[in-house]
Amino acid sequence: MPDISEPTAWAILFLPLGCFLLIALVIRPLLPGRYASLSGYVAVLAIGSAFFLSLAALNSTLGHEEAIGWASHSWVAIGDLDIRVGIIMDPLTAIMLVVVTGISLLVQVYSHGYMRGDPSYSRYFAYMSLFTASMIGIVLARSILQMYFFWELVGLCSYLLIGFWYERPAAAAAAKKAFLITRIGDVGFLIVILYLFSRKELFLAADLNPFEIPDIHVIVITGMLSSMVITWLALGIFAGAAGKSAQFPLHTWLPDAMEGPTPVSALIHAATMVAAGVFLVARFFPVFEASEEAMATVALVGGFTAVFAASMGLVMFDIKRVLAYSTVSQLGYMMLALGIGMPAIAIFHLFTHAFFKALLFLGAGSVNHATQTFDMRYMGGLRRVMPWTYVTFLIASLSLAGIFPLAGFWSKDEILLSAWTEGGAVEKAAFSMGLVGVFMTAFYIIRVLVMTFHGSYRGGAEAERRDTNQESTQPPTQQDDGDATQVHLAESPWVMVLPMVVLAVAAVVAGYVASPVSGLMTIPEHWLVEFLGGHTPDFSVPIAVGSTVVALAGIGLATLMYQTGTISAEAVGRRFRPLRQLLLRKYYMDELYEGFVVKRSFYQGVVRFADWVDRDVVDKAVDGIGWWSRNIGRSMARLQTGQVQGYGVVISVGILVILAVYFIWG
């Protein structure tokens, strides 16, 4: 197979982008009604082609030691600065491309079933295509400006898709929240770009383009900037990444983002939106590497987020919210891996996580398809009616919990192992946070599994409606088991099951086959990590066994509490009532942001000041100008007599004055 050519690589980006344009400009306005399903097929076709091209790209990069270098193209020239666009096709890009297009393909196939009959079917696929295209744009970008463009486009698409059912106030609010909070982080990214631009003379003198990512790496490595500046640059980039990847303290948008359609959540959580932050840090890794402080920040924020988010996942009742906190927590692991200097392992975890997290969301969507609710208190017993969903969800859960030999085990183990063997104080702290996270992860995911699939059915959406109508906040009891309501429960259609089965296979094998600890047939040892330019510490049995035992402990506790009922969940809840309340209210972070930051500081401070400026400065200035013009006009209007001869006199005298001035002073 020949090497991928540059136009082919661009096609990976332009196929979904063109698909978006086709659906948005042709199919949706011109072919309404029964042709709407066409947009789904077009989207799958486009993203499927992009997926195969991505595989070709991966295959090409395999044969090269270095990144395949294509010269970038001049886009705009501002003064002596040439802003260029281009493609980086290195192992990082190739792996990300395969993940993004692959997950997106499966999610879109699934969406055929999930979104069937939605009045905005075409709009959905148009946004999904644009979303995928934007993410591909980030991954391919060679110039930081080009990347920023697609970065913001990803933000826009997430806004559009989270608020897809915009007629629901909660969805509209969640979309706004996601957009605003990620935007806070993006300011850091923007400042980095502006700083690079402001110092362009320095870089241009050394024949380096301040916007080209490889040149930025050279700038940092050759020490053209002071270490202080590099730290701030790295933190600026990390701020952008933390916003997109929902790291503490910018994590609050992601759980609310559950208001969008479930396949969108799967895409956001596995391949596009949140992976962008991790990818960004990995792409600019040399910048981080040059600053110890920035690395420590990334590691500690990541580790803290891993535990912090997982703890909130322990008590939530909305199945998608638990999964959302799980994603935040797993992204914390990826940031942790980046922070301890292991970008390759972070991407490895991103790779495995993409499969099982997408699968978990698709499973949640499938469950919702049957029960019409997301509240786990009204589920239960679905294992008998939805065997495929149950089995795939089980695999994904165990993979997330990090059980040998599923995919999640290998990547999580490598993160913990690296943290352990690196040995500094920061790494030790990160390692212990990671270990606590493992326990919590295992606990909450088994809790979800048991509450959803085991036990007996608790009524689904009908029961939920009944309870909310009675304004009862008590969860229904186990006896509330009506056989009559089970008639509409059924396994989802095969277009939804098939992607889940494919993902389940990946969730099993992606860890060991992609990066085996010892050579496996033709696949060399630690293939994926080495391919990404990383190295892995030797497999350590104590660490692996230790983390597995911790995970098993979490599983065991969850089983005892929710499956067998040996330990009463209610009793534990009562015992730790303040703690449980704290977790249920998400550490009062929303209240802090809403009440303190927004209402107290923003409304009372900034907004009041802005209001004063608007009323007393801007409005008064406008009114004043109007007042003066009106009065001056009124007095000048008296000169307009309508007597043409009077005008003639004024004109003649004026000409004489001009001539006089000209002759005297000219």
- For other proteins, the binding residues (CB under 8 A) are 640-645, 648-649, 652
φ/ψ of residue 477, rounded to 5: -90, 170
Minimum distance, C-beta of residue 632 to other proteins, in the bound complex (Å): 18
Answer for the pair 120, 36: CB distance below 8 angstroms, yes or no. no
601: Cβ–Cβ under 8 A, 6 or more apart, which residues?
A: none
Residues 213 and 216: their CA atoms lie apart, in Å, by 5
Minimum distance, C-beta of residue 647 to other proteins, in the bound complex (Å): 8
192: Cβ–Cβ under 8 A, 6 or more apart, which residues?
A: 144, 233, 236, 237, 240
φ/ψ of residue 212, rounded to 5: -80, 130
- If the CB atoms of residues 571 and 649 are measured against other proteins, the closer one turns out to be 649
Minimum distance, C-beta of residue 642 to other proteins, in the bound complex (Å): 3
User: Which H or E run includes 69?
Assistant: strand 68-69
Minimum distance, C-beta of residue 653 to other proteins, in the bound complex (Å): 10
What is the residue type of 104? S
- If the CB atoms of residues 642 and 666 are measured against other proteins, the closer one turns out to be 642
SS3 83: strand
Q: Name the H helices within 245-318.
A: 253-256, 262-270, 273-283, 285-289, 292-313
- If the CB atoms of residues 473 and 645 are measured against other proteins, the closer one turns out to be 645
- If the CB atoms of residues 470 and 641 are measured against other proteins, the closer one turns out to be 641
Minimum distance, C-beta of residue 646 to other proteins, in the bound complex (Å): 8
Minimum distance, C-beta of residue 665 to other proteins, in the bound complex (Å): 22
Minimum distance, C-beta of residue 611 to other proteins, in the bound complex (Å): 43
Minimum distance, C-beta of residue 627 to other proteins, in the bound complex (Å): 24
- If the CB atoms of residues 7 and 633 are measured against other proteins, the closer one turns out to be 633
Going 647 to 649 to 652 to 656, the CA torsion angle's sign is negative
Residues 143 and 214: their CA atoms lie apart, in Å, by 9
- If the CB atoms of residues 34 and 634 are measured against other proteins, the closer one turns out to be 634
Minimum distance, C-beta of residue 664 to other proteins, in the bound complex (Å): 19
- If the CB atoms of residues 477 and 641 are measured against other proteins, the closer one turns out to be 641
Q: Which of 296, 452, 295, 255 is nearest to 367 (CA)?
A: 452
Minimum distance, C-beta of residue 638 to other proteins, in the bound complex (Å): 10
- If the CB atoms of residues 541 and 644 are measured against other proteins, the closer one turns out to be 644
Strand partners of residue 74: 84
- If the CB atoms of residues 519 and 646 are measured against other proteins, the closer one turns out to be 646
- If the CB atoms of residues 228 and 655 are measured against other proteins, the closer one turns out to be 655
Give the pair of three-digit tokens for residue 282: 């990995």
**CA 469 from chain center: how many Å?**
35
Q: Residue 273 half-sphere exposure, CB side, CA atoms within 13 Å?
A: 33
Can you give 554-618 as a three-state secondary structure string?
HHHHHHHHHHHCCCCHHHHHHHCHHHHHHHHCHHHHHHHHHHHHHHHHHHHHHHHHHHHHHHHHH
How far, CA to CA in Å, does 487 sit from each of 369, 482, 619? Answer: 14, 10, 65
- If the CB atoms of residues 194 and 659 are measured against other proteins, the closer one turns out to be 659
Answer for the pair 444, 397: CB distance below 8 angstroms, yes or no. no
Residues 281 and 188: their CA atoms lie apart, in Å, by 13
Minimum distance, C-beta of residue 645 to other proteins, in the bound complex (Å): 5
